[in-house]
């Protein structure tokens, strides 16, 4: 490591990854951007002398950079990509046959070709690396169909170990990578996602956000930073706006002529340009360590992208700052673009991802805790490394009742509808969809008409933030187990008074509309069913008073059922079992 790379010690999980590879085990390592994944396979590639390590990597630009950098460290590496002509390809084959290469980089398209399989049979391969392995998973954020076909590697070459690396994978994505690549009992390593040198700030954008941007940049005189925008046009507009204000900024996007793009990138890397205003096309594989800030002018498309993009700040470990400016309109704009995705489930999945980020932006939770929590890592709080932890504690109000109204509406309409419909039902709208579904007959219909649509929207945001609701595959709202507890009255929901000021006023107006007791409602349905079966009025089965007592005490054995006022032996025998079954269900 010292000879070739000049490093004195390992970073977290590098040693463990390298040991797994040297022991010929399959491996999945998840290390955040900047964590040092390349070393994990480049070092063992040197260890297996006389053999070649094959690296499958999704971007030609990344491949080119790596091959050049390795060459500079005297490590023999080459590539097979669509950019090469036949002569160049023959030269690579010649080097392989003469055992002159330690590493061979291959694009996924090439890896799926028959000629590549023939090559794997012919040369002595130490192990295969799948870089950016989240591209394997449809549940990741950069799905690549060519990556998903790579299971042939294990099927046809089971003796060659595979080492997969990614910076961003939830457990679901990690499991998917393991099964899609058919990894054989792999060593699984996961680094911490907490970047303790990043300060995370999030603000609602006012108009086009230029004012906030300039105010922010004033703190970073002569420092390097990246500003991400959504469209190519915006990169140019913001770059020239900044130039007119005396900032040293250039634009970067995939639509620029490649020479200009390269020139702008090089100027940034060499510190001749301090600020680069870019679309997300910028950044992959760029190893500039002194980026002091990253600004997002609108919401990134997912938490994974956000994490990757902010991860370009502070790679040298020094304090760096990230600012995310956002507005609700960003979600609408991006969701509309996603309408062109044909696969319904994938489309909704993509929409859910952007909405998750909106909820993150809107939330009062510690930002670092929210980000690491997204990757299933639990963090206490960040100690003043984010805007939310820096804020003074704010007064909270109890919105449990409103939350329960909403949860109850979601539950009673069968957990099959989106937010707009739920709000329509709760507000007692006569909308066609409400009537057609018979939702005007639900007990919750119109229970929240005094509260405005916008305020209900805020309550829904809060329920998302608190993870009381989630989206299903068709974007329908569904209760989580926490949401079910809130509905049953076992948990409360609080919100900050300043955000909920308006809601709070409306809530006080609406207090007389008490939410119906869920248990009582459920038991009432059982009673109605029994009554209609026996052809008797409902009160003959049990009076409301008896039913209320059952709802409160929830008796589930004969003795306690008999204790209820209005329950005698005869009624116990006739109806006891049915009601107690329901009670057991309610208690779960
Ligand atoms: P990743 O691919 O995980 O984003 P890289 O492999 O590009 O990260 O490494 C990020 C930076 O950290 C690079 O500049 C690399 O040279 C440096 N680096 C990697 N491992 C070490 C180490 N053990 N000690 C010091 N620097 C390291």
Mind listing the pLDDT tens digit for each residue in 549-564? 898 889 989 999 988 8
Q: Is 62 in the pocket of ligand 1 (CB under 6 A)?
A: no
Which of 2, 11, 36 to probe ligand 1 with, by most ligand atoms within 8 A of CB? 36
Does the beta carbon of 129 lie inside 6 Å of ligand 1? no
Residue in 9, 39, 131, 168 to alter for ligand 1 test, most ligand atoms within 8 A of Cβ: 39
DSSP β-bridge partners for residue 494: 398
How far is residue 580's CA from residue 571's CA, in Å, rounded to a whole number? 12
E strand map for 224-305? 224-228, 249-252, 275-278, 291-296
For the domain 396-499, what is the CATH code? 1.10.10.10
CA 10 to ligand 1: nearest atom: 23
Q: Is the CB of 124 under 6 A from ligand 1?
A: no
Query: d(Cα 35, Cα 52) in Å, to the nearest integer?
Result: 24
How far away, in angstroms, is 289 Cα from ligand 1 center?
A: 10
541: nearest Cα among 524, 521, 564, 556:
524
Q: How far is CA 132 from CA 63, 140, 284, 308, 444, in A?
A: 12, 10, 11, 12, 48
> Cα(36) to centroid of ligand 1, in Å?
3
Q: Are 178 and 7 in contact (CB under 8 A)?
A: no
Give 378's pLDDT tier (boundaries 50, 70, 90).
confident
Please, are residues 360 and 370 in contact by the beta-carbon 8 Å criterion? yes
- From the CB of 31, is ligand 1 less than 6 Å away? yes
How many A from CA of 14 to the centre of ligand 1? 10
Closest CA to 234 of 183, 289, 297, 294: 297
How remote is the CA of residue 363 from the centroid of ligand 1, in Å? 33
CA 234/CA 253 separation, integer angstroms: 10
3-state SS class at 497: coil
- Taking the C-alpha atoms of residue 546 and residue 569, their distance in angstroms, rounded to an integer, is 14
Of 363, 368, 372, 375, nearest in space to 463 by CA: 363
Which of the residue ranges 34-48, 81-95, 131-145 would you say has the lowest mean pLDDT?
131-145
At 252 the three-state DSSP class reads strand
34 lines ligand 1 (CB under 6 A): yes
Which ranges of 311-366 does DSSP label H, i.e. alpha helix? 328-338, 344-362
Whose CA is closest to atom 2 on ligand 1? Answer: 37
DSSP letters, 71-109, are: HHTT--EEEE-TT--HHHHHHHHHHHHTT--SEEEE-HH
The stretch 184-209 carries a mean pLDDT of 92
Most confident of 193-207, 373-387, 491-505: 193-207
Q: Is 11 in the pocket of ligand 1 (CB under 6 A)?
A: yes
How many Cβ atoms are within 10 Å of 344's Cβ, its own excluded? Answer: 11
**DSSP symbol at 134:** G
Q: Could you tell me if the CB of 36 is within 6 A of ligand 1?
A: yes
Distance 54 CA to ligand 1 centre (A): 20
- Note whether 51 and 125 are within 8 A (CB): yes
Q: How far is the CA of 112 from the centre of ligand 1 (A)?
A: 29
Residue 174 to residue 163: CA distance in whole angstroms:
13
The closest alpha carbon to 393, from 261, 494, 464, belongs to: 494
Question: Does position 339 have pLDDT exceeding 60, yes or no?
Answer: yes
288 lines ligand 1 (CB under 6 A): no
> What atom of ligand 1 comes closest to residue 14's alpha carbon?
23
Fold exhibited by the domain 518-587: DNA polymerase; domain 1 (1.10.150)
Nearest to 196 by CA among 373, 368, 312: 368
d(CA 373, CA 211): 32
Q: What is the pLDDT of residue 444?
A: 93
- CATH architecture assignment, domain 2-190: 3-Layer(aba) Sandwich (3.40)
Task: Please give the C-alpha separations between residue 62 and each of 203, 331, 453, 457, in angstroms, as whole numbers.
Answer: 33, 30, 48, 43
Among residues 431, 404, 435, 408, the alpha carbon closest in space to that of 420 is found at 431
CB of 81 closer than 6 angstroms to any ligand 1 atom: no
397 phi and psi, to 5 degrees? -120, 155
Residue with tokens 């991400």: 228
Whether pLDDT at 586 is above 80: yes
7 lines ligand 1 (CB under 6 A): yes
- The residue whose CA is least distant from atom 25 of ligand 1 is 7
Mean pLDDT of the chain: 89
**Domain parsing of the chain, residue ranges:** 2-190, 198-390, 396-499, 518-587
Residue whose pair of structure tokens reads 């709000």 in the numeric block: 423
Distance CA(335)–CA(419), nearest Å, equals 15
The distance of Cα 408 from the centroid of its chain, to the nearest Å, equals 27
Q: Write out the two tokens for 428.
A: 């007692």
Concatenated DSSP letters for 155-172? HH-TTS-EEEEES---HH
Would the pLDDT of 389 be above 80? yes
- Write down the pLDDT at residue 512: 44
From 5, 38, 318, give the residue whose CB has the most ligand 1 atoms within 8 Å, as the site to mutate.
Answer: 38
8 Å CB contact between 39 and 14: yes
Q: Is the pLDDT of residue 283 over 90?
A: no
Topology agreement, domain 2-190 and domain 198-390 = yes
Q: Which of 488-492, 534-538, 576-580 has the lowest mean pLDDT?
A: 534-538
* Beta-bridge partners for 324: 202, 296
Is the distance from CB of 32 to CB of 309 less than 8 angstroms?
A: no
User: Which residue, by CA, sits nearest to atom 20 of ligand 1?
Assistant: 36
For ligand 1, whether the C-beta of 191 sits within 6 Å is no
β-strand partners of 227: 277, 295
Q: Ligand 1: does its nearest atom lie under 6 Å from the Cβ of 312?
A: no
Q: Would you say 402 and 448 are in contact if contact means Cβ atoms under 8 Å apart?
A: yes
Out of 157-166, 304-313, 376-385, 564-573, the most confident range is 157-166
Burial call 365-401: b when 16+ CB within 10 Å, e when fewer:
bbbbbbbbbbbeeebeebeebbbbbeeeeeeebebbb
Interval between CA 11 and ligand 1 midpoint (Å) = 8
Q: Is the CB of 10 inside a 6 Å radius of any atom of ligand 1?
A: yes
**What is the DSSP secondary structure assignment for residue 302, as one 8-state letter?**
S
Q: Is 314 in the pocket of ligand 1 (CB under 6 A)?
A: no
Confidence bin at 140 (pLDDT 50/70/90): low
Segment among 314-323, 398-407, 509-518 with least mean pLDDT: 509-518
Tens of pLDDT along 458-484? 899 889 888 899 988 888 999 999 999
What percent of the chain stands above pLDDT 70? 96
Q: How far is the CA of 291 from the centre of ligand 1 (A)?
A: 15
Query: What is the CATH code for 198-390?
Result: 3.40.50.300
CA angle 294, 394, 328 (to 5 degrees): 45
Q: Say what the pLDDT of residue 502 is.
A: 64
Cβ of 75 below 6 Å from ligand 1:
no
Number of the ligand 1 atom closest to the C-alpha atom of 32: 3
Q: Quick one: pLDDT band at residue 513, thresholds 50, 70, 90?
A: very low
Which pLDDT score is estimated for 33? Answer: 79
Give tens-digit pLDDT for 480-492: 999 999 998 888 8
Residue with tokens 């010929």: 24
Query: Would you say 522 and 586 are in contact if contact means Cβ atoms under 8 Å apart?
Result: yes
What values do phi and psi take at 208, rounded to 5?
Answer: -90, 5
């Amino acid at each position: 490591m010292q000879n070739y790379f000049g490093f004195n010690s390992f970073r977290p999980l590098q040693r463990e990854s390298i040991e797994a590879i040297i022991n010929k085990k399959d491996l999945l390592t998840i290390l955040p951007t900047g964590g040092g994944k390349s070393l994990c396979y480049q070092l063992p590639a040197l260890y297996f002398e006389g053999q070649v390590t094959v690296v499958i990597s999704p971007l030609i630009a990344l491949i080119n950079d790596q091959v050049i950098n390795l060459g500079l460290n005297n490590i023999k590496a080459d590539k097979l990509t669509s950019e090469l002509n036949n002569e160049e390809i023959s030269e690579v084959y010649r080097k392989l046959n003469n055992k002159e290469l330690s590493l061979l980089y291959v694009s996924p398209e090439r890896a799926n070709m028959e000629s590549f399989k023939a090559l794997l049979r012919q040369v002595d391969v130490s192990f295969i690396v799948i870089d950016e392995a989240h591209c394997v998973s449809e549940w990741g954020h950069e799905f690549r169909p060519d990556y998903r076909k790579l299971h042939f590697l294990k099927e046809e070459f089971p003796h060659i170990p595979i080492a997969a690396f990614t910076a961003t994978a939830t457990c679901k994505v990690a499991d998917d990578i393991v099964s899609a690549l058919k990894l054989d009992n792999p060593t699984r390593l996961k680094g911490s996602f907490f970047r303790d040198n990043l300060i995370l700030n999030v603000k609602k954008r006012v108009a086009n956000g230029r004012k906030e941007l300039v105010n922010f940049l004033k703190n970073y005189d002569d420092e390097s930073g990246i500003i991400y925008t959504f469209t190519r046009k915006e990169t140019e507009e913001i770059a020239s706006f900044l130039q007119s204000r005396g900032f040293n900024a250039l634009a970067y996007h995939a639509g620029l002529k490649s020479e200009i793009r390269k020139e702008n990138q090089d100027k940034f890397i060499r510190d001749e340009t301090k600020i680069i205003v870019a679309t997300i096309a910028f950044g992959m594989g760029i190893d500039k360590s002194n980026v002091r800030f990253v600004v997002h002018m609108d919401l990134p498309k997912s938490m994974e992208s956000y994490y990757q993009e902010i991860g370009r700040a502070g790679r040298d470990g020094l304090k760096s700052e990230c600012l995310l400016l956002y507005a609700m309109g960003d979600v609408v704009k991006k969701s509309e673009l996603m309408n062109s995705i044909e696969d319904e489930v994938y489309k909704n999945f993509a929409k859910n991802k952007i909405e998750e980020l909106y909820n993150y932006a809107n939330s009062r939770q510690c930002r670092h805790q929210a980000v690491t929590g997204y990757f299933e890592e639990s963090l206490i709080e960040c100690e003043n490394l984010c805007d939310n932890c820096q804020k003074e504690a704010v007064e909270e109000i109890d919105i449990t009742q409103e939350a329960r109204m909403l949860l109850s509406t979601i539950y009673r309409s069968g957990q099959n509808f989106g937010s707009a419909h739920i709000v329509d039902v709760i507000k007692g709208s006569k909308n066609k969809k409400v009537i057609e579904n018979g939702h005007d007959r639900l007990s919750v219909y119109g229970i929240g008409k005094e509260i405005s649509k916008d305020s209900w929207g805020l309550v829904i945001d809060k329920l998302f933030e608190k993870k009381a609701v989630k989206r299903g595959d068709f974007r329908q709202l569904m209760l989580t187990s926490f949401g079910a507890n809130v509905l049953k009255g076992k948990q409360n929901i609080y919100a900050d008074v300043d955000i909920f000021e308006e809601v709070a006023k409306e809530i006080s107006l609406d207090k007389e509309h008490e939410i119906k007791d869920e248990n009582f409602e459920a038991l009432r349905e059982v009673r109605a069913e029994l009554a209609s079966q026996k052809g008797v009025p409902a009160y003959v089965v049990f009076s409301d008073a008896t039913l209320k007592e059952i709802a409160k005490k929830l008796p589930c054995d004969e003795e306690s059922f008999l204790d209820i006022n209005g329950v005698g032996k005869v009624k116990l025998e006739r109806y006891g079992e049915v009601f107690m079954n329901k009670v057991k269900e309610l208690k779960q």
